[in-house]
Amino acid sequence: MHLEGSLSPEVLFTLAKRNNITLPQDDDAFQSPETLLARYDRFTSLDDFLHYYYIGMSVLISASDFEDLAMDYFRHAAADGVAHAEVFFDPQAHIERGISYNTVLAGFSAARARAQKEFGITSELICCFLRHLPVPNCVSMFKDADVQASFKNGSVTGIGLDSSEKPFPPALFEEIYAGAKELGIRRTAHAGEEGPSSFISDALDVLKVERIDHGIRLIEDEALLQKIAKDGTMLSVCPLSNVLLRCVKEVKEVPIRKFLDAGVKFSINSDDPAYFGGYLLDNYCAVHEAFNLSVAEWTSICRAGIEGSWCSQARKDEMLARLDDVVRVWAPKLSA
């Protein structure tokens, strides 16, 4: 999920007041948190969502703002029973506003430490590059000394590629991903959400990513689907996001059943929960209502998410043991 995508209208208006930020006066959506939330139900496309997404970021100024934003997400995550989260952030969107990379990183890092102490939630931070910006801009940020330092000291675990997908194929960012691979940085990319299935294969073959974000258009290429299943490449699927961004009309059109039948590994995720009307548990419930999955199927989804995460093996083992305990206790009751 995207940390900036957890900026709820309530928090947005609070931070705007704190930082004396004037929200757009020519858009009725910004009359109140309630009217803004109502507008989020009417996104027409990914770009329509991104318009509001980037306006929202304007209220984030200080490290404490970023900490408050992330803590609001972690509280929701704790309420949903999340044990581990791998979260994106978009530093270019803040650097362009004059906010330093280290300011953003300090706020998010403080929240991550608090979340682990207060809720027992571990997390990894993934630095995303905005594909709608000029490629040299992205390359420059990747090579920035502060960004490189965050890779080397472990503050940031991996890189990702987000924003408008269709006009910006993965191959444009080959230099960044080659550099990340050389540094031993983990690599993922948004592909096959709006863009074609060929973007998935390019992300794998050109960028050498280790997992795919979204990837729902994988079903358009049977050979690629079988290859991903064979290789065990994980997809991070975001069902409610797919509906709100008009990629599908309803959750039952997300290819959950096809992925399960083909043996494709995937996890269920919330993407930008404050904008798409659902945190993680909401997505789990929506999938279950649409597909009525069995205990074994849910176990396989949860196991794939744990095994496909980028935390330590010791942490994976803890979560796998916790999963086994839950299944052992609840499976007999559900089948009774």
Strands 122-130 and 84-89, by their bridges, are parallel
86, 165, 193, 194: the catalytic one is: 193
Residue 118: active-site member: no
For residues 115 and 71, is the Cβ–Cβ distance under 8 A? yes
Q: Got the DSSP string for 165-181?
A: -TTS-GGGGHHHHHHHH
* Distance in angstroms (rounded) separating the CA atoms of residues 91 and 58: 13
Beta-bridge partner residues of 310: none
Nearest partner of 203 among 304, 94, 129, judged by Cα = 129
DSSP state of 22: P
Non-local CB neighbours of 235 within 8 Å, separated by 6+ positions: 211, 212, 213, 214, 215, 218, 228, 259, 264, 265, 266, 267
Which amino acid would we find at residue 314?
Answer: A
Q: Is 228 helix (H, G, I), strand (E, B) or coil?
A: helix
- What distances in angstroms separate CA 107 from CA 68, 79, 291, 315, one per listed residue? 8, 22, 39, 24
Separation between Cα atoms, residue 110 and residue 40, nearest integer Å: 29
As annotated, the active-site residues are 193
